[in-house]
């Protein structure tokens, strides 16, 4: 099993109410973005690896996982997740900013 988490941390994320709703929406949007982005760079021979990507949204993080047994080996060679993490983190920041701007 291969897992990687992108976490939101800091005092802003410890409060409840409006911040919690903004964070939940941003994480949901980021999870969808992450899954699509990683699938697009996943090499395909049988399609098992590409179709195996899952995202899970927790309270403060998005977890990207794949249960295909050879995922860690392909990740080490191709870096499907490693190369997309900066874009995923940037997307989370943009989704948070978009949610905050809705309050104005």
What is the distance between the alpha carbons of residues 90 and 76, in angstroms, rounded to a whole number? 23
pLDDT value at 103 more than 90: no
Q: Residue 102 has what pLDDT?
A: 80
Contacts of 85 (CB under 8 A, 6+ apart): 4, 6
- Tell me the average pLDDT across 42-47: 95
Q: What is the pTM of this model?
A: 0.82
Q: Residue 20 has what pLDDT?
A: 78
> In this predicted model, which residue has the larger pLDDT, 86 or 20?
86
């Amino acid at each position: 099993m291969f897992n990687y988490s992108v976490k939101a941390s800091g005092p802003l994320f410890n409060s409840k109410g409006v911040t919690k709703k903004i964070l939940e929406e941003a994480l949901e949007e980021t999870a969808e973005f992450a899954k699509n982005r990683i699938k697009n760079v996943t090499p395909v021979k049988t399609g098992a690896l590409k179709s195996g990507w899952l995202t899970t949204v927790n309270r403060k993080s998005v977890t990207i996982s794949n249960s295909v047994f050879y995922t860690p080996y392909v990740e080490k060679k191709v870096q499907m997740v490693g190369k997309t993490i900066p874009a995923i983190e940037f997307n989370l920041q943009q989704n948070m900013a978009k949610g905050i701007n809705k309050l104005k």
